[in-house]
Amino acid sequence: YSDFSITVLGLDSIEARSYINALACSFLEYDSDDKPRDETIKPLVDGGTEGFEGHARVIIPGVTPCFECTIWLFPPQVKFPLCTLAETPRTAAHCIEYAHLIKWDEVHSGETFDPDDPEHMKWIYNEAVKRAELFGIPGFTYSLTQGAVKNIIPAIASTNAIVSAACALEALKITTGCSKTLSNYLTYTFA
């Protein structure tokens, strides 16, 4: 990465973004006035989508706020209280998480759940369907189970195209200097 002049991110996790951000910040060297030396600044163009929403932004380490400085912009991950999962499930997601987080360990003590193993996923699906039927919760599909367990949010092609175009434009502006880069955060929401 130190050989790159710019890095464009299209990552699917906060952990991966944090890692690349830390890497880019680690390249910074400062002059005697405590200003970043231009040749050590490796700009990041970060883009991401989640369903009908997306974002693009430029991070210039040592100049603009870095990823860690703006991590609060990301919505918190959805977590359900275990008491809801165990006692009063109200949604299909509650039943899936019950099978995944509670039932799996009860039945398969010591065996690690592998979300990429079709047999494991089928077991979670079957257990979740049983629980949903017990509590009268409709709307179950195998793909819903996979999405909930793997925390998959469907990608929308048009949102991906808009955000990737914004990222490509920002990378072009940085590399050529043809225009001022995005000075803030571009948020796209299809309403």
Q: What CATH number corresponds to the domain at position 36?
A: 3.40.50.720
Predicted confidence at residue 110, as pLDDT, reads 84
CB 6 within 8 A of CB 43: yes
Same domain, 72 and 12: yes
Residue 2 lies in a domain: no
Same domain, 90 and 144: yes
The predicted-structure confidence for 58-73, as pLDDT tens digits, reads as follows: 999 999 998 888 887 7
Predicted confidence at residue 20, as pLDDT, reads 95
Predicted confidence at residue 189, as pLDDT, reads 80
Same domain, 70 and 113: no
Tokens of 138: 């409709």
pLDDT tens for the chain, 191 residues long, are: 889 999 999 987 888 999 999 999 999 999 999 999 999 999 999 998 887 888 999 999 999 998 888 887 776 666 666 677 778 898 898 999 999 989 999 999 889 999 999 999 999 999 999 999 999 999 889 988 998 888 777 778 888 999 999 999 999 999 999 998 887 778 888 76
Same domain, 57 and 116: no
Predicted confidence at residue 116, as pLDDT, reads 92
The predicted-structure confidence for 173-182, as pLDDT tens digits, reads as follows: 999 999 988 8
Same domain, 167 and 135: no
Residue 167 lies in a domain: yes
Which residues have a catalytic role annotated?
83
| Domain extent at residue 90 | 82-150
Q: What CATH number corresponds to the domain at position 89?
A: 1.10.10.520
Enumerate residues 6+ apart whose C-beta is below 8 A from 47.
8, 9, 10, 54, 55, 56, 57, 163, 164, 166, 167
Radius of gyration of the chain (CA): 22
Quote the number of domains for the chain: 2
The predicted-structure confidence for 110-135, as pLDDT tens digits, reads as follows: 899 999 999 999 999 999 999 999 99
Predicted confidence at residue 78, as pLDDT, reads 60
Residue 1 lies in a domain: no
Enumerate residues 6+ apart whose C-beta is below 8 A from 53.
159, 187, 188, 189, 190
Same domain, 49 and 62: yes
pTM: 0.65
